Structure 1
Amino acid sequence: MLSEETRTIIKSTAPVLEEHGVVITTRFYSRMFEEHPELLNIFNHANQAQGRQQTALAKTVYAAAVHIDNLEEIMPAVVQIAHKHVSLGVKPEHYPIVGAHLLLAMKEVLGDAATDEIIQAWSDAYGVIADTFISVERSMYQSTAKQENGWNYFKDFVVARKVKESDVITSFYLKPADGSNVPTYIPGQYISVRVSIPGDPYTLIRQYSLSQASTPDEFRISVKREADNDPNGVVSIHLHEKVNEGDRLEVSAPAGVFVLDASKTSPVAFLSGGVGITPMMSMFETVATSTPERPTAFLHGARNRSQHAFDEDVRSLVEKMENASYKTVYSDEENGFITRDMLEQYVDPQGEAYVCGPVPFMVAMIRELRNIGMDDSRIHYEFFGPAMEIPNN
């Protein structure tokens, strides 16, 4: 437990962290990687280069300062981050390294304003927060290891099949190299894929949604090939161009909190844009096969027909359901976007909605779902990056 004095000091630093947080976290990562370059095997280099990781950490530190009197307020964020940490293989021994360099970065950036009392208060607070992460992640690791066919960290898988789904999306069917089965996962979860690329001294890790309903013997991920000049495209290009059937990939166990509540039978809508269709396929296929009577709407937007993956798969499942509708739009065509009128036609505001796609798409969909009367508790989404504020209008 933190003393009242410590909590008062932490709260007093919130305005400074709001203003200088990104500068502090940028210096933090620079310092840490200088002394511990091995951690570059875990962190996303592209997010580092684009400043996304620095922004995300700055927001987390600021939120901790604001809610230091009641850290339960940030537990949903802690759990979401912990899922990512577990999928990356973060270990308890990493936390003291992070804490030491974060405090040094605070002192360096803030100078004399970072008094000994402030640094000590943040040291105490970081200890409590780190212990929370370690405890949550330990529980996740234990649960994963105990699950039938479960494992911790990374395991070798073989690419059993490689299937082109559209001009930009290719599916990889992955089976354990040791001949075992895979654990059951919740629709919407993701796995991490770790690769070594010739010429890069560090391993690269990316998360990919599992794009089919849980099956006992394989995972499927469906990967969009990013543009050659996109820093985030290094791994996707490698998978598309260099990884073939029979090759091996290192894979983590399923994780993630953006998941379908399959126990509900109320109307449900899936809204996806581009490659955001991948977790929706897992969710939609689960609904179609386990509760085909559930009122269901699937709205998808792509750039054009040639980039639209899984169209035939969705249509085939819709035909077998009792009360399902399916609508696609293409942004290269006139009026090719999902509109408020379209949502009013297809989405029941008293049901549930799952949203995934590019950030502008998600912002627009969440705003319009609110505008048609859907309560926030019924709108499910996850931004895979820094937290976003969704305007109401």
Structure 2
Amino acid sequence: MTTDQIQLVKSTVPILKEHGVLLTSHFYKRMFVHNPELKHVFNMGNQQNSKQQTALAMAVLAYAEHIENPAVLMPAVDHIGHKHTSLDIRPEHYAIVGQHLIASISEVLGDAASPELLEAWTLAYQQLAAIMSGHEQKIYSQQTAKKGGWTGWRPFVVCERVKESNEITSFYLYPSDGGDVADYLPGQYISLRLFLPELNLLQPRQYSISCSPNGKYYRISVKREAGSKHPDGMISNRLHDHIYAGDIVELTAPAGSFVLNKQTPSRKVFISGGVGQTPLLSMLEDIVAKPDTQGVPPVTWIHGCRSEQVHAFKDKIAEICTSYKQLDQHIFYENEQSPAKNHYQGRVELEILKNEILKPETDYYICGPAPFISKHYEFLIANGVPVETIHFEEFGPASLQLN
């Protein structure tokens, strides 16, 4: 790209800040009209709740702002790349997206979209597509290099269902071909695909693996979305209502960049809300199963949910506390009091636990709804915790820009 073309792209930053979601909403509508087959690839629930449009608008804006040095976006590229490989996104999809993105810029901006601006954005998009697809090819190569690794969709059989609470059920998934199960990093997720008769579409959803690597199966722990007929909850509810032992589901290989840091034996603090505990449970199980050779790291487990009835894995965590003396847990119930030790009424408040958790050489992992993550991230930052020691996972398309 020439200097003038770079400046043309940067000149659209104010427009993207103000009208980015309008542009991306137009883009998705246009793409699904002309390429309806992509409805099987994209989460249509995220289309209805505008999460996908917002996430794309933020990504396009960030790229325009940093087009002179896109290397600074590599953490975001890696995060998105894992999402894309988990959805089996391939280079040919980028060509379709590019066609509709440039057309949308022209249609939304109207007379302001000069031929020079459209040419600059075409080159900018091609550069971004090359960066993204190149990084994703590396992830695909890493997946296939593993024992039992694969790319694309692979059939797995549900061998067991376990009710963990009034809302959450675990599904134990084994390869239907009897082959090996690819290893993964604690905290990663898999994509699961089912056919939804209500939409007449195949639909993918991403679920954290809720157990530590074991070489035999993957376990996902899924929350029922009570009363939900919205596409956002249809796959979760279909798993609860229609998928039983012996049924087949399709999975992509484990992916994700929200993973346990094993490089240091630092103290770990896990902070979760509701079903957000699932990736943290995988991390915790891995720690207690394979203590670091440099020492046994102290762990603090902080979890919040509405009540004991919807509290999944409470017996499992209590069992780990008994055997792993370096683990302390603190439980917050919004709707009830509990006589148990280290149980509190109300939502999670880190202020109550600051003397225990605000210590040097500590890694913090937060998972839950976006407001939950923001609240506790901001508390840690306000109390002097280094940003590089705070890790978080937001379920769904990324909408938080905290780090």
Aligned equivalent of 1:317: 320
The answer on 1:307 being equivalent to 2:319 is no
8 Å CA contact 1:343, 1:369 repeated in 2: no
CA deviations on 1:183-241 (whole Å, 9 max, x unpaired) are 11000000000001224321010000000000101000000001223521100110001
Aligned to 2:331: 328
- Count how many residue pairs are aligned between Structure 1 and Structure 2: 390
* 1:151 paired to 2:150: yes
Matching residue of 2:35: 36
Corresponding position: 1:346 with 2:353? no
TM-score for the superposition, normalised by structure 1:
0.96
Shift of 1:331: 0.8
CA 1:345 to 1:333, structure 2 compared with 1: closer, same or farther past 3 Å? farther
Partner of 1:272: 272
Corresponding residue of 2:129: 130
Question: Shift of the alpha carbon at 1:143?
Answer: 1.3
Give the corresponding residue for 2:347: 337
Runs of 4+ off more than 6 Å: none
Number of the residue aligned with 1:59? 58
Describe the SS at the equivalent of 1:166. coil
State the AA in 1 paired with 2:302.
L
SS at match of 2:183: coil
- Whole-angstrom distance in 2 between the partners of 1:317 and 1:136: 38
Specify the SS of the correspondent of 1:203.
strand
**Equivalent-residue separation in structure 2 for 1:277 and 1:322 (angstroms):** 20
In the alignment, residue 383 of structure 1 is paired with which amino acid? E
**1:177: Cα distance to partner?**
0.2
The answer as to whether partners of 1:349 and 1:375 remain within 8 angstroms in 2 is no
The answer on 1:206 being equivalent to 2:205 is yes
Q: 2: distance between equivalents of 1:35 and 1:255?
A: 30
Q: In the TM superposition, what is the alpha-carbon distance from 1:363 to its structure 2 partner?
A: 1.2
Question: What TM-score, normalized by structure 2, do the two folds share?
Answer: 0.94
Amino acid at match of 1:357: G
% same residue? 41
Deviations 1:34-93 (A, max 9, x none): 110000001010110111111111111111110011001111111111101100011111
- Quickly say closer, same or farther: Cα 1:132–1:38, change in 2 above 3 A: same
State the SS of the aligned residue for 1:278. helix
Spell out the pairing of 1:98-117 with structure 2 (5 A cutoff): 98-117=97-116
Looking at structure 1, the residues matched to 272 and 198 of structure 2 have their Cα atoms a distance apart, in angstroms, of 36
Q: How does 1:212-291 map to 2 (within 5 A)?
A: 212-229=211-228, 231=230, 232-291=232-291
SS class of match (1:93): helix
Counterpart in the other structure of 2:385: 374
The DSSP-based 3-state class of the residue aligned with 2:196 is coil
Answer yes or no: is the 8 Å Cα contact 2:181–2:216 preserved in 1.
yes
1:363 to 350, 353, 374: 374
Find the aligned partners of 1:349 and 1:4 in 2 and give their Cα distance.
48
Q: Secondary structure at the match of 2:251?
A: strand
* Aligned 8 A contact 2:228 2:234 in 1: no
Post-superposition CA distance 1:250-308 (Å, at most 9, x none): 01100000000123211110000100010011001111121272111001001000000
User: 1:70 — aligned with what?
Assistant: 69
1:390 Cα shift? 5.0
Paired residues of 2:167 and 2:224 also in contact (CA < 8 A): yes
Matches of 1:297 and 1:341, distance apart in 2: 14
Alignment partners' CA distance in 2, 1:389 and 1:38:
31
> Which deviates more, 262-271 or 127-136?
262-271
Q: What is the identity, as a one-letter code, of the residue corresponding to 2:356?
A: Y
Report the more deviating stretch, 24-33 or 326-335: 326-335
* Farther-moved stretch of structure 1 (164-173 vs 340-349): 340-349
Q: Write the distance in 1 (CA, Å) between the matches of 2:240 and 2:41.
A: 22
1:175–1:181 contact (8 Å) kept in structure 2: no
Q: Which runs of 5+ in 1 are unaligned?
A: none
Superposed displacement of residue 389, structure 1: 4.4
Q: Which residue of 1 aligns with 2:398?
A: 386
The equivalent residue for 1:92 is 91
For 2:314 and 2:358, locate their aligned partners in 1 and report how far apart those are by CA, in whole Å: 23
Aligned partner of 1:23 in structure 2 is: 22
